Amino acid sequence: MKIKFRNIITISAAGIFLFSVLNCASNKPDSGRTLIWNDEFNGKGLPDSLKWNYDTGGSGFGNEEAQFYTKNRLENARMEKGNLIIEARKENWEGSKYTSARLLTKGKFSFQYGTIEVRAKLPKGRGTWPAIWMMSENMKKWPDDGELDIMEHVGFNQGYIHASVHTKKYNHIQGTQKTDTLFVKDASEKFHVYKADWTPEKIDVYIDNQKFFTYLNKEKNNEAWPFDRPYFILLNLAIGGFWGGKEGIDDTVFPQKYYIDYVRVYKNK
């Protein structure tokens, strides 16, 4: 078949135009939501003190964890090459055998309903226990005031990502927590986006836009749904503990780094 050269140019131009239109459309911001808070970690040195506080100490934090959480220590929490790095190290520190960091926005930022997205690459190794989670800004009693775990990963079960809620009625102490998992084979080799959509009716949790956990506000009471109040964000890397250390701690894996590319919170229409 013969095709005139002029027609080839016309067809090519039309194809380029269509590709450009589709590309522009795909890059349009989502008009259904508004960015209300974020940290892109583009600085250098310690995390932004206007956005993050620290939990400190080696008390085990109710989970029999083995690390000591430090404050304002570059070895354990720093911005570097566009990422927040939370690093767990094997070193003696005030009676603990490991150091790490636990950052939180309590007292600096909290929100009620919306979408939170965290792009992260997880540490690897038996005994590591990184998390992305949220708790009530005015926490008076756990678990009555609620907890949302967007991402938890225990190193002895590599690649299995857990999402859970804890309330007075449903929590891990009673063995009644609401939870589910998704296997991500390269969770420690590549960055993935961990997301939660939170409305008055339900909480949906996703990895790279694949939904794998939903918690519905079915019972319409505080014992089952304490999620009608502002919550703050936590990022931490625990070592050991009743769950993370269930199969022991492999001291040969340290230091381990938990990379967070960004945290973004959106208000949805």
Helix H or strand E segment including 8: helix 5-26
Q: What is the per-residue burial (b if ≥16 Cβ within 10 Å, else e) of 122-154?
A: bbbbbbbbbbbbbbbbebeebbbbbbbbbbbbb
Tokens of 88: 């767990």
Question: Which parts of 122-222 are beta strand (E)?
Answer: 128-136, 147-152, 160-166, 178-183, 192-198, 202-207, 210-216
CATH node for 32-268: 2.60.120.200
The pLDDT of residue 24 = 42
Under 8 Å between Cβ of 122 and 153: yes
User: Distance between alpha carbon 109 and the CA centroid of its chain, in Å?
Assistant: 16
The domain locations on the chain are 32-268
Q: What is the CA radius of gyration of the chain?
A: 22
Nearest to 244 by CA among 99, 86, 127: 127
d(C-alpha 193, C-alpha 242), whole Å:
27
User: Distance between alpha carbon 71 and the CA centroid of its chain, in Å?
Assistant: 20
Phi/psi for 101 (5° steps) reads -145, 150
The pLDDT of residue 2 = 40
Locate tokens 């929590």: which residue? 171
The pLDDT of residue 10 = 39
| All residues at 6 or more sequence positions from 30 whose CB lies less than 8 Å from its CB, including other chains | none
The pLDDT of residue 210 = 98
Residue 220's identity, in one-letter code, is: K
Nearest to 125 by CA among 245, 5, 44, 1: 245
Residues in the chain: 269
Give the max Cα distance, the chain. 82
Q: Which residues carry out catalysis?
A: 147, 152
d(C-alpha 152, C-alpha 122), whole Å:
10
Nearest to 189 by CA among 259, 263, 102, 118: 259
The pLDDT of residue 23 = 43
Half-sphere exposure (Cβ direction) of 241: Cα atoms closer than 13 Å? 21
Nearest to 233 by CA among 140, 151, 125, 122: 151
Q: pLDDT tens string for the chain (269 positions)? A: 444 434 433 334 444 444 443 444 434 456 789 999 999 999 999 999 999 999 999 999 999 999 999 999 999 999 999 999 999 999 999 999 999 999 999 999 999 999 999 999 999 999 999 999 999 999 999 999 999 999 999 999 999 999 999 999 999 999 999 999 999 999 999 999 999 999 999 999 999 999 999 999 999 999 999 999 999 999 999 999 999 999 999 999 999 999 999 999 999 98
